[in-house]
Amino acid sequence: MNELMTDQEMGELLNQLLEAERAGAKLLAAWLDDLAPESPLFAALRDVQRDEASNCAVLIECLRAVEVEPSARTGEFYTKRVAIPDWRERLEFLNRGQGWVGRRIAAALPRIQAPAARAVLQEMHDSHFANVERCKALITARGS
C-alpha cells in the first residue's frame, strides 16, 4: 500500500502543478492572440486556457489549506514552446503537457489523504484528459 503524502510533499506536488498550469494558461493566452476570435480553434483553446487559469486558482487554495506558500514561478513549458509556428505541432505539444499533468496527478492520488484535495485533483485529472481528447479532435478536424 502507498504511504500517505506528508503536507510538505503535498505542497511540493501542488506547487509543481501550479507552475505547470500557469505555464499552460500563459502559453494558450499567447497562442490565442494568433487566432481570430470567430475561429472554432479559438473557442476550443479559449476553453482549455480557462481550465488552466481556473486550475491555478484551485491549486493556490489547496496550497493555502496545507499552509504552503504558492509558487510564483511559471513552468518551463511556457518558455520552451511559445514560438511554435505550426498549429498541429502546437496542439500536439499542448497534449503532451496535458498528459504529463494528468499522469502526475494520477500517480499522486493514491497517496493523498484529504478528501477535498483528492476530489479537486481527481477533477483536474479528468479535465486534462478530456482536453487531450478535445485537442486530438481539433488535429483531426484541421487535417494538418
pLDDT, mean of residues 43-55: 95
The C-alpha atoms of residue 109 and residue 136 are separated, in whole angstroms, by 25
The C-alpha atoms of residue 119 and residue 137 are separated, in whole angstroms, by 27
List C-alpha distances in Å: 63 to 2, 17, 21, 133, 134: 22, 11, 14, 29, 29
Q: Residue 19: which of 46, 56, 69, 54 has the closest Cα?
A: 56
Round the average pLDDT of the chain to a whole number and report it. 92
Cα 132 versus chain centre, distance = 11
Q: 6-17: per-residue pLDDT in tens?
A: 989 999 999 999
- pTM of the predicted structure, to 2 decimals: 0.92
Q: 72-101: per-residue pLDDT in tens?
A: 999 887 776 767 888 999 999 999 999 999
The C-alpha atoms of residue 119 and residue 112 are separated, in whole angstroms, by 10
Is it the case that residue 144 has pLDDT exceeding 70? no
The percentage of residues in the chain with a pLDDT greater than 70, rounded to a whole number, is 96
